[in-house]
């Protein structure tokens, strides 16, 4: 366990918790190994990560996404120190935002294999969102997130729900060709939102080898509100306003799509290929 540790941090994530956690995390690592390196997220691309068997990501979901290329289909293990605004993957894995509790989980050395998604030349461990979902993530100001934390997304969600717009999407979902006029589409590996309070999938797990797809078709804020209530209370059924489905491979005919991938804004200029990479990342969790 943790013979050679790389600690990757984003001091700007969330409310800059990583700055407060730095000394305690280093002290924790020193209890288990003398071989470690501490780097800022922007230094990662210049680093040879091959000597490290463990990568601790101190930040939010965006920080986890940045370390993904160094983890997929390797024996390296990901440890998450949640310091971001949302920390959705940590919540899905049952990890704690309390630093001491989370370090004890890592110390127990319980490792689980989870899936990731490939989106053209990007990797995703959470979700890729278009339309309304993308607007919430990409257009919520950092200043608002710093002030209100995760509640900032909730505020933005209400505001953007008042001005929903539709766009035509042409898909190939596995072998099924579809044309859908939608205000929001989410492709998810981890489908939880607002911590673990809401899931936009019927039966989502991180290791099922499937991409969960949520399609919202309405632009009426009142209908949207009732559909959202159905999601909150786990009443999920296909209707003329929403669809839930699963797939392994998706092709989207692209017309300059702006989306978010794990909370980071991305412009995708070419047709979009989304595939699941099953059991591709090892991660510390509280139970198998």
CATH number, position 187? 2.60.200.40
Average pLDDT score over residue span 136-144: 84
Q: Which residues sit opposite 124 in a β-bridge? A: 117
DSSP reduced 3-state for 188 = strand
* Domains held by the chain: number: 2
The residue count of the chain comes to 288
* Tens-place pLDDT, residues 83-102: 888 889 999 998 988 999 99
| Whether 13 and 61 share a structural domain | yes
Task: Give the ranges where the chain is alpha helix by DSSP (H).
Answer: 17-30, 61-67, 88-92, 99-107, 132-139, 142-148, 151-161, 221-232
| Whether 23 and 63 share a structural domain | yes
Average pLDDT score over residue span 181-203: 90
Whether 286 is covered by a domain: the verdict is no
Average pLDDT score over residue span 231-256: 90
Residues 146 and 84 sit within 8 Å (Cβ to Cβ): no
Average pLDDT score over residue span 253-269: 86
Alpha carbon distance 99, 56 (integer Å): 13
Poorest-pLDDT segment among 31-35, 162-166, 212-216, 262-266: 262-266
| Close Cβ partners of 99 (under 8 Å, ≥ 6 residues apart) | 21, 24, 25, 81
Whether 35 is covered by a domain: the verdict is yes
Residues 255 and 95 sit within 8 Å (Cβ to Cβ): no
The residue from 109, 143, 171 where one domain ends is 109
Q: For residue 269, name the pLDDT band (cuts at 50, 70, 90).
A: confident
Residues above pLDDT 90, as percent of the chain: 70
Residue 152: its pLDDT value, please?
Answer: 85
| Whether 87 and 153 share a structural domain | no
Q: Which domain holds residue 207?
A: 122-276
* Tens-place pLDDT, residues 157-175: 889 999 999 999 999 999 8
Q: Could you please report the per-residue DSSP string of 210-239?
A: -EEEEEE----HHHHHHHHHHHHTT-----
Q: What is the pTM of this model?
A: 0.91
Alpha carbon distance 266, 130 (integer Å): 10
The residue from 109, 133, 167 where one domain ends is 109
Whether 241 is covered by a domain: the verdict is yes
Whether 287 is covered by a domain: the verdict is no
| Whether 139 and 265 share a structural domain | yes
Whether 132 is covered by a domain: the verdict is yes
Residues 279 and 105 sit within 8 Å (Cβ to Cβ): no
Residue 14: its pLDDT value, please?
Answer: 62
Name the DSSP class of 15. Answer: T
* Tens-place pLDDT, residues 34-53: 999 999 999 999 999 999 99
CATH number, position 39? 3.40.50.10330
The residue from 67, 87, 109 where one domain ends is 109
Average pLDDT of every residue of the chain? 91
Residue 15: its pLDDT value, please?
Answer: 65
Residue 86: its pLDDT value, please?
Answer: 83
pLDDT at 288 exceeding the cut of 90: no
Closest CA to 62 of 238, 262, 232: 262
| Whether 183 and 235 share a structural domain | yes
Residue 66: its pLDDT value, please?
Answer: 94
Whether 115 is covered by a domain: the verdict is no
Whether 197 is covered by a domain: the verdict is yes
| Whether 263 and 151 share a structural domain | yes
Instruction: Count Cβ neighbours within 10 Å for each residue of 58-95 and write b for 16 or more, e otherwise.
Output: bbbbbbbbbbbebbeeeebbbbbbbbbbbbbbbbbbeb
| Whether 93 and 136 share a structural domain | no
pLDDT at 127 exceeding the cut of 90: yes
Average pLDDT score over residue span 230-251: 92
| Whether 29 and 130 share a structural domain | no
């Amino acid at each position: 366990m943790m013979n050679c540790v790389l600690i990757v941090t984003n001091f700007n994530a969330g409310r800059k918790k990583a700055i407060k956690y730095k000394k305690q995390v280093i002290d924790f690592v020193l209890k288990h190994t003398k071989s470690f390196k501490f780097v800022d997220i922007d230094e990662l691309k210049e680093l040879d990560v091959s000597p490290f068997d463990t990568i601790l990501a101190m930040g939010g979901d965006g920080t986890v996404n940045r370390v993904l290329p160094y983890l997929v289909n390797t024996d390296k293990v990901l440890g998450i120190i949640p310091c971001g605004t949302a920390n959705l993957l940590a919540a899905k894995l049952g990890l704690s935002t309390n630093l001491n509790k989370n370090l004890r989980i890592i110390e127990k050395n319980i490792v689980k294999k989870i899936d990731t998604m490939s989106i053209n030349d990007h990797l995703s461990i959470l979700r890729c969102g278009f339309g309304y979902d993308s607007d919430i993530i990409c257009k919520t100001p950092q200043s608002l997130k710093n002030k209100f934390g995760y509640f900032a997304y909730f505020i933005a969600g209400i505001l953007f729900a008042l001005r929903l717009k539709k766009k035509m999407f042409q898909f190939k979902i596995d072998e099924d060709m579809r044309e859908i006029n939608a205000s929001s589409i989410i492709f998810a590996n981890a489908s939880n939102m607002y911590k673990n309070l809401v899931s936009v999938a019927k039966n989502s797990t991180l290791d099922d080898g499937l991409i969960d797809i949520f399609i919202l078709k309405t632009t009426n804020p009142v209908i949207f509100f009732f559909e959202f209530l159905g999601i909150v209370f786990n009443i999920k059924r296909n209707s003329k306003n929403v669809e839930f489905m699963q797939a392994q491979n998706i092709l989207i005919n692209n017309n300059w799509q702006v989306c978010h991938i794990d909370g980071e804004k991305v412009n995708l200029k070419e047709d979009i290929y989304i595939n699941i990479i099953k059991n591709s990342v090892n991660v510390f969790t509280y139970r198998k």
